[in-house]
Amino acid sequence: MDFRYTEDQLSIQSVARDFAQKRIAPVAADFDASGEFPLENIREMGQLGLMGIEVPTEYGGAGMDPIAYVLAMIEIAAADGAHSVIMSVNNSLYCNGILKFGSEAQKQKYVRAIAEGKDIGAFALTEPQSGSDATAMRCRAVKQADGSFIINGKKSWITSGPVAKYIVLFAMSDPAKGAKGVTAFLVDTAKAGFHCGKTEPKLGIRASATCEIEFTDYHASADEVLGAEGEGFKIAMGVLDAGRIGIASQAIGIARAAYEATLDYVKERKAFGVPIGSFQMTQSKIADMKCKLEASTLLTLRAAFAKGETEKNGGRFGTEAACAKLVSSEAAMWITHQAVQIHGGMGYSKEMPLERYFRDAKITEIYEGTSEIQRLVIARNETGLR
Ligand code: CAA
Ligand code: FAD
């Protein structure tokens, strides 16, 4: 693994940082307060190549590697967690899944406009009764004589559900087969039989739109099956390995923003006649924040590197991705918590962004597999036991 970044990686990092600081950071608090979806910014991020970073240029993307994706995600997340999750789902759960498992015709039809940010993509696995236990899904796809499917059921907590043009959907096509009975579909939200529920009010990442979606006799043609029938669960798990690198990067961005604000504050704010950064108790927190941030960043770059190598050589990178997500999300929660504490009353005030960072950090321990599920994945892979 090379610790020096390539010109491409540095260039997308710089593009993302510039956009994040000039266009997102100044409005992030307003979007958080209103909960409005930042559609115009997302479209512009698409024009800059940020909505399809690893998508080859022939399908409308930036044609870069997983390290470039991590660097750009961190910059966007440092300005706003909500923008970064919209970017992460679009890049790693939607585009990545179709690139990896889709036919040439599907890549042509479903990737370009989404990678360019003209339309938005989503990923629907979770249901009201099944989150961690994803194979307990009830959304049902019944095969017809002509090879098409009729889909009925609900999916919950779908990021970008209210605004998505297309959704990668997982439904049970053969309940008797459990995980091997799940099939993946490419859903067009403009078609009959697709319904969107109300947008969920949330603790953090409030400008990202999350909703329940429902299928009533939705007709999916054979061309709209992603991968092979019955391979859906493996597709979901493989795609989530990539997604977890995106969420790890989101966590690092949020934590970095909280850390940088804290570094400024401890030098300015005085108590007992000295800057609060002079107290050893504060210094200890600063040192631990720095170490956790560095460790998270290295693990996440390591996972991105493993993803790049895996794509060349085959194999899985699930352990690396789960380690990165687990460590980075728990670090983000700890760092934002300490950042609020070090800011005292101002940490609790909406006049400063610390309370928003704290609220936004929490979700990184929950979605794309809770911390308990990351531990389960790592321990199962390491021990071979279930
Ligand atoms: N890649 C490919 N295949 C995989 C895989 C991977 N990483 N992990 C598992 N599989 C395969 C297994 O090999 C197995 O197939 P075989 O029987 O042929 O070997 C099959 O999938 C079933 O695997 P398990 O028996 O391990 O399945 P399980 O029922 O025990 O569940 C789990 C495993 C890890 C708990 C899984 O259900 C899981 O990850 N749950 C969390 C769900 C999740 O992360 N949801 C996120 C939703 S998206 C989201 O959240 C987006 C957002 O917020 C922004
Ligand atoms: P549960 O599975 O009910 O878990 C409850 C608790 O039990 C958790 O603490 C969990 O860790 C613990 N637990 C469960 N099983 C075990 C076990 N085996 N061992 C130890 N502890 C366990 N899903 C999508 O498909 N697409 C999306 O775009 C999407 N976006 C989301 C956006 C937001 C804002 C949120 C909140 C969720 C989103 N999700 C999405 C769903 C998300 O992935 C799930 O919420 C998450 O996987 C946890 O599932 P659950 O909420 O059903 O919790």
Q: Can you tell me the distance from the alpha carbon of 330 to that of 312, in angstroms, rounded to the nearest whole number?
A: 31
Q: What is the CA radius of gyration of the chain?
A: 21
Least trusted range by pLDDT, from 1-10, 16-25, 166-175: 1-10
Q: Can you tell me the distance from the alpha carbon of 224 to that of 156, in angstroms, rounded to the nearest whole number?
A: 21
**pLDDT for res 207:** 98
**pLDDT for res 233:** 98
Q: Which two tokens stand for residue 154?
A: 């609900």
Note the maximum CA span of the chain.
Answer: 81
Q: Are 115 and 61 in contact (CB under 8 A)?
A: yes
Atom of ligand 2 nearest to the CA of 372: 11
Residue with CA closest to ligand 2 atom 15: 132
Residue with CA closest to ligand 1 atom 50: 368
Q: Can you tell me the distance from the alpha carbon of 145 to that of 159, in angstroms, rounded to the nearest whole number?
A: 33
| CATH code given to domain 121-230 | 2.40.110.10
Q: What is the DSSP letter of 200?
A: P
In the chain, how many H helices and how many E strands? 14, 10
Using DSSP's 3-state secondary structure scheme, residue 349 falls into coil
166-172/121-124 β-pairing: parallel
Closest ligand to the CA of 210:
2
Q: What are phi and psi of 176, to 5 degrees?
A: -65, -25
Can you give the residue ranges of every domain in the chain? 7-115, 121-230, 233-383
ipTM of this complex prediction, to 2 decimal places: 0.99
Instruction: Report residue 280 CA to chain centroid gap.
Output: 36
Tell me, using a 6 A CB cutoff, whether residue 14 lines ligand 2.
no
Other C-beta atoms lying within 10 Å of the C-beta of residue 130 = 16
The closest of 331, 152, 315 to 241, measured between CA atoms, is: 315
Residue positions counted in the chain? 386
Q: What are phi and psi of 36, to 5 degrees?
A: -70, 145
pLDDT at 1 over 90: no
Burial code (b: 16+ CB inside 10 Å, e: under 16) for 175-195 equals eeeeeebbbbbbbbbeeeebe
pLDDT digits (tens, 9 = 90+) for 107-161: 999 999 999 999 999 999 999 999 999 999 999 999 999 999 999 999 999 999 9
| CATH code given to domain 7-115 | 1.10.540.10
Q: Residue 317 — pLDDT band, cuts 50, 70, 90?
A: very high
Same CATH topology for 7-115 and 121-230?
no
Q: Is 368 a residue of the active site?
A: yes
Q: Residue 255 — pLDDT band, cuts 50, 70, 90?
A: very high
Q: Are 249 and 363 in contact (CB under 8 A)?
A: no
pLDDT digits (tens, 9 = 90+) for 268-313: 999 999 999 999 999 999 999 999 999 999 999 999 999 999 988 8
Using DSSP's 3-state secondary structure scheme, residue 277 falls into helix
Tell me, using a 6 A CB cutoff, whether residue 94 lines ligand 2.
no
**pLDDT for res 297:** 98
The CATH topology of domain 233-383 is Butyryl-CoA Dehydrogenase, subunit A; domain 3 (1.20.140)
Q: Residue 60 — pLDDT band, cuts 50, 70, 90?
A: very high
Residue with CA closest to ligand 1 atom 24: 179
Please name the amino acid found at residue 51.
Answer: M
The answer, as to whether pTM is greater than 0.80, is yes
Residue 15's alpha-carbon distances to 9, 47, 105, in angstroms, are: 10, 11, 31
**pLDDT for res 208:** 98
